[in-house]
Each structure stands twice: as structure tokens, then as C-alpha cells.
Chain A
Amino acid sequence: MTRCVVGSIELTYGPMSDHALRRTTPQAGPTTTDERESPTAVRLEDVTHEYGSSGGRGRSSEDRTVTALRDVTLEVGAGETVGLEGPSGSGKSTILHAVSGLLVPTAGRIQVLDTADLTSLSDRERTRLRRHHVGIVFQRFHLLPSLSARANVALPLVQAGIDRSTRRQRAESLLEQVGLGDRTDHSPGELSGGERQRVAIARALVTDPDVIVADEPTGELDTATGADVLDLLTDIGRDRTVLVASHDDATLAVADRVVTLRDGRVVDDGR
């Protein structure tokens, strides 16, 4: 076991357990998804976001602002898998980006686990929060083409200053568990779409985050490959909080509940 203290957070890295993709750190709350009264992992309160409002120096900035979220209030319990559905532009991705601290909403409060309101944190603090608690899976994978699958998976550990051999060990173990044990030295260019997404999922898991956000994780994949990736997501969702945005019914079917969005508003929170 390698113990690593990053800021006030203690991470424990070691060989993965036999239970595929199960957490290696003890969790704060119960892991069963059936318990509705489970502690809240993600909370959005009256969140409104307007794109273009921050750079509004020009005279016509008013005309250019697009309201992506309007007074969104949403709670996701620890260990819950929540799907976000809605047409393009309904605000699914904006919610995911706000939860991961990649953007700061124009108004409202966001809380991830027991941290302070995300909107009050500095850029640096939000990066740290993301590094420790949130894993992101993108539609287009966003792997570094210059690195091997293993190095891509190990990348998030670089910032924590974890030594190379532990990084490799952890990455190889995760790749093994997503079924790519024989592909660790391949570059993204040498992998299929489904394999790339599995590498991206392994990367999202490498810091053992509490929350996983996945934006159209099967959007670039054919049905069969998409099904494999969904199995993987279901596995992950057993003891993590997962937010998954998608148009695809098969993808949304892995969620414990589905939140429906229209024009930046929650029209059905699936409860």
C-alpha cells in the first residue's frame, strides 16, 4: 500500500482488489443505491449559468449571452448513479462541467461531498478538488496521442507527486480490470474507439475518485462496443456516485434514476 497525503486529503493507492473497479479507500457512507436517505454526494442549489456573461465588455454582450441553466436544484446521493437526459442545449454538459469545477456558474451554489461551496473556491482549489474527488469521462476520450495507454491512465497521479513505479503499477492494474491488460504499451492511435474509452475510464478512476461524471460516454461508439463500456460504468457505479449525460436510452438505463432537462430547467428529477 502506498499512502500519499495531498493537501488535507489522504489517498491510499495499492493493488486493486479482486472485485473489479471497486474502491480501495473506505467510503464515508453506505453503498447501496436503494437507500434514498444516503448522504448527499453532489448538491446544486438554484444554479444559473449564462455563457458569454463573464466576458460582457462589449456593447452587444447582452444579446450574445445564452442561458444554459436556470435555477437548477439537484441532489445526488453517495453511491447513486444519475442519468441526465434532454435535447442538445438543455444544459446536461453544463451541469457536468459545473460539478467538476471546470466552470463556475453565474449564480447558485454547488457542493461536492463535504467540501465548501465550489463557486467560492479559487481556480487552483477547484483543480485540486477535481483531482481528488472527481473523475471525468469525455465523449471524445481526450487521451494524449503521444503517450501509451498506461502513461495516459497514470497522468492524473503526476500532480500528486506519486512515484513512477507506483503510477505504472496502478495504471496497469486498472487497464487489466477494464480488459486492456495486453494493450498497456499501445498508443491511443493503435486502439479502437471502445478501447480508447476504456482507457479514459481507467484514467478517470486512477485517483480513486468519489464522483464520476461521464458526458455521452458511448456517443462515439457503436452499439456493441457501447454496451461493453456501459457494463464497465455499471461496475463503477456500484460504489461510486456517477453522473452520466446522454441521449441514448441504453446508456440511461444503467442509471438508478434519470433527471430530465429542458431549456436549462429540471422538468423531472426522476424521483
Chain B
Amino acid sequence: MSPRLRRAAVRTRAVVGLAFAQLRRSPGRTALTVLAVTLAVLSVTLLASLGVGVVETGENGLENAGRDIWVTSESIDPESSDTANPIVGAHGMSAEMTQRDDVSSASPIAMHELYVATDDDVVRTTAVGVHETHDGFGFEAGGGFETEMNHSDGNYSAADRPSEPTTEEIVLDPGTAESLGVSVGDTVSIGTSRQTARDDEFTVVGIASYYSQFLGTDVETVPLTDLQAVAGTTGTDRATFVTASVEDGADRDAVAADLDAAYPGYDVRTSDEQIGSMVEERPLVLASGATLVGLSLVGGVVLTVNLFALVAYQQRDELAALRAVGLSRWVLAGTIGVQGLVIGLLGGVVGLAATPLLTRGLNRLTEAVVGFESLLRTPVEVYAVGLVLAIVVGTVVALLTGWRAGRYARLEHLEA
């Protein structure tokens, strides 16, 4: 080893020894700084796992729906009175799609503004019309419904479907059920305006918040043909989406491309693309998510910076004395930097160890309060971000503050 390298090694060892001596000297302060780094790491890991969880919950929602392909239209037809349901002849289109060899099934989904009423009360809410509910609904009470698609032969005509509700079953959102004071087995009436709210009577068969999760508002689930009948769109057969499942082994992207060519007036997306497009349509959600993650990072960094600036400030007398006896600023920065590394490492490890415990606790809480299961998800990337914050930010910040601490290492502190 060259003499220069040997001297550097000797200095490094001494710097590490000094840093540990300083840490040991004030165990209380060391514990508190470790705790502060732990909190910074936790704020990042918990917020990041919330972000991941929100996206995954959305994806799972679409996956639970079991649909590979989503067809919709973004063109707003000024002639149409129903911009929420831009697809016309939705059952016919579904029948056509089902006839393809690579599509196993296709079905429309409609959305309408809805008034739900009891004898005493009326609430304005949103309805989703589907052919059947599924296992992923997570019913709080009761169950779902199942209706015929009635287009199996592909020769669909509007006349095949009744213009009056036939199933007359509804799944209510828990919030709606509570505000109306109804439960499973009770009867409510529905309509698409306040005037028609008492025209059609439906039986409450279940209570679930499945669609409410995705739309962020109370949503009732109604059989599609009944909803169209109530809304008066049986004739035009309007829907918001037509969703399709591909046959096992079929290439989802290729089928989507084919369908896109076959229906040039509509947007055909795979479920992944649909998630992306739904998120893009909600810049506020994206912005708040990014703000949360940004704030947690900035908060973590600011906390760490303050912490190490404080550690360096508290050691200003020692630093000034070291400087006076001839130690260089690099050696001083090194002693603070190594303290930062050790504190960052310890805080990071404690923070990462506490993350799964707290995540579990918070998940239990959110499940009890808002009904989401496992809203916080912790893939390995979340841990990686937390560890990087603790170690890299901790050390870099400590080195910089140590370097700046050369400023503290001045006479005033020796004379005080």
C-alpha cells in the first residue's frame, strides 16, 4: 500500500472511531436521532405503500370484473342527451363481439343518475347497470342478482327485450341504505328524476360498496335491462362500456387491435390501458398522489437535514477544538458523516422493520372504516425507497452538514 493510501486508511479508521465515540457519548441523543430517521422512513414507506395500494386496488377491481377489453367512446355527441352512455346498440355490439372465435363473452355496462326513494325519503345517487353481480362484490348483507344476456343468437332486436323492468332487484350502497333506513328484503322505488322516483319498485337483495370504491361516490347496482327500462334507453340501447373477455390462449392486445379496427367510432382498450386512461382522466387524483409522495420525500429529507444540522451544531465545541488542534475539514465532515451513516442505517432498519407491522395495523383500520381490504401494499420497491432515503440521504446530508460544520469550528465556540 502506498504511504498516501496507508495514511488515508489510518485517518478513515480514526474518523470511524471518533464517530462511534461521539455516538456512544450521548446514547439518548443517538436514540432520538435514530427515532427521527425511523419516522422519516416510515412516512415515506407508508405513503408509498398507500400509493401502490390505491393503484393495485383499482387494477384488481377491473381484474375482478374479469374483463380483458373495454370499449367506450370519448366523442361527445351534442345531439345526444346522454353523454354518460355514448355507446348505442350496446347489446347488438356485445352479441357481435361474442360471435368472434377469440372472444368468450361480451357485455355492456351502463351508468345513470338515479333517484332512490322510500315512502318518506328520496336520495340522488348513481346507478351502474350490469347483467350480474359477481363474487368480488364483498356483500355486507344479502347477495346479488343474475339476468339473461338475451342476445345469445346474435340476432338481437330491441323487441326481444322488455321495455319495463322485469327482475326488479337492486344492490344498494351501504351509505344509501343507511340514509334511507332500508335493509335486505325491503322495497325501494327508483327513477331517473325526482318526478319519476316512485314509478318502479325494486327489492333490495344486497348491500355492497363494490362500485362505490371505484367511483368515489355512493353507487347502486341495478340489472342493466331494468336500468335501461327505467331510464328509457331500451330503444337506443345505450351503455357506457362494452366489456369483453378473450378466449384462453388468445392474445389480448391482438384482439383489442382487431376490435379497434372493427369499431372505428369507439375506443377499444385492454384493461391495463383502461386503468391508465381512467387515471389520466383524473389529474387531480394523480396530482394529489404525486404531491403526497413528493411531500413525504421532501418532509423526510428536511427532517433528516435539520436533524444532522442539529447534531453538528450540538458538537460545535468539539468540532472547533478538533479544528484548532489541526484536523482538516474533511476529517470533521467525516466524523459527522459516519455518524449520519450509522444513524441512517439504524433508523432505516428500524423503519423498514416497523413498516409491515404498521401497514398491517393501518390495513385493519381502513378495512374497518372504509371497507377496503389491504389498501396499503408493500412491494420490495417501497422498502428500497425507504432504505435509500435513510442511508443515502442520511450520509450525504450528514457529510454536507459536517462540511458546513467547519463554520461552527471557530474561535467563538472555544472562547465561550
Contacts and interface: CB of A to CB of B under 8 A. Distances in A.
Contact of A158 (B14, B321, B415): B14
Nearest to B10: A161
A156 B325 contact: yes
B411 A97 contact: yes
Contacts of A127: 323, 326-328
Interface string A16-53: 00000000000000000000000000000000000000
A207 interface: yes
Contacts of B15: 158
A203 interface: yes
A156 B321 contact: no
Interface in A119-173: 124, 127-128, 130-132, 136, 138, 140, 142-147, 151, 155-156, 158-164
A158 B21 contact: no
A146 B314 CA distance: 13
B200 interface: no
A164 B322 CA distance: 18
A102 interface: yes
Contacts of B415: 93
A241 interface: no
B141 interface: no
B414 A142 contact: yes
Nearest to B4: A161
A158 B327 contact: yes
A103 interface: yes
A145 B317 CA distance: 11
A184 interface: no
Contact of A161 (B8, B18, B22, B322): B8
Interface in B313-331: 317-318, 320-328, 331
Given A127-B326, A144-B321, A162 B10 contact: yes
Interface in A155-214: 155-156, 158-164, 203-204, 207
Nearest to B406: A123
Contacts of B326: 127-128, 130-132, 156, 159, 207
A143 B411 CA distance: 15
Nearest to A139: B415
A142 B325 CA distance: 10
Contacts of A203: 325
B317 A158 contact: no
Contacts of B317: 142
B6 interface: yes
Contacts of B360: none
B325 A155 contact: yes
A143 B415 CA distance: 14
A159 B328 contact: yes
Interface string B5-27: 01110110111011001101100
Interface in A4-26: 5
B25 A160 contact: no
Contact of A146 (B7, B24, B325, B328): B24
A159 B11 CA distance: 6
A81 interface: no
B10 A144 contact: no
A155 B327 CA distance: 8
A153 B187 CA distance: 90
Nearest to B8: A161
A218 interface: no
A100 interface: yes
B411 A158 contact: no
Query: Which of A144, A155, A164 has the most CB atoms of chain B within a 10 A radius of its CB?
Result: A144
A161 B318 CA distance: 20
B377 to A, nearest CB: 44
A51 B301 CA distance: 36
B262 to A, nearest CB: 74
Interface in B8-48: 8, 10-11, 13-15, 17-18, 21-22, 24-25
A145 B324 contact: no
A262 B352 CA distance: 63
A156 B411 contact: no
Contacts of A160: 7
A102 B328 contact: no
Contact of A102 (B21, B24, B411): B411
Contact of A138 (B8, B17, B322, B414): B414
Nearest to A147: B21
B10 A163 contact: yes
Contacts of B411: 97, 102-103
Given A97-B411, A102-B411, A161-B7, A144 B323 contact: no
B162 to A, nearest CB: 86
Contacts of B331: 158-159
Contacts of A204: 325
17 contacts: A102-B324, A127-B326, A127-B327, A138-B321, A140-B414, A142-B317, A142-B324, A143-B321, A146-B22, A158-B14, A158-B18, A159-B11, A161-B6, A161-B11, A162-B10, A163-B10, A164-B13
Given A93-B415, A138-B324, 16 more contacts: A102-B324, A103-B411, A124-B328, A132-B326, A142-B324, A144-B322, A145-B318, A147-B21, A151-B17, A156-B327, A158-B11, A158-B14, A158-B18, A159-B326, A161-B6, A161-B11
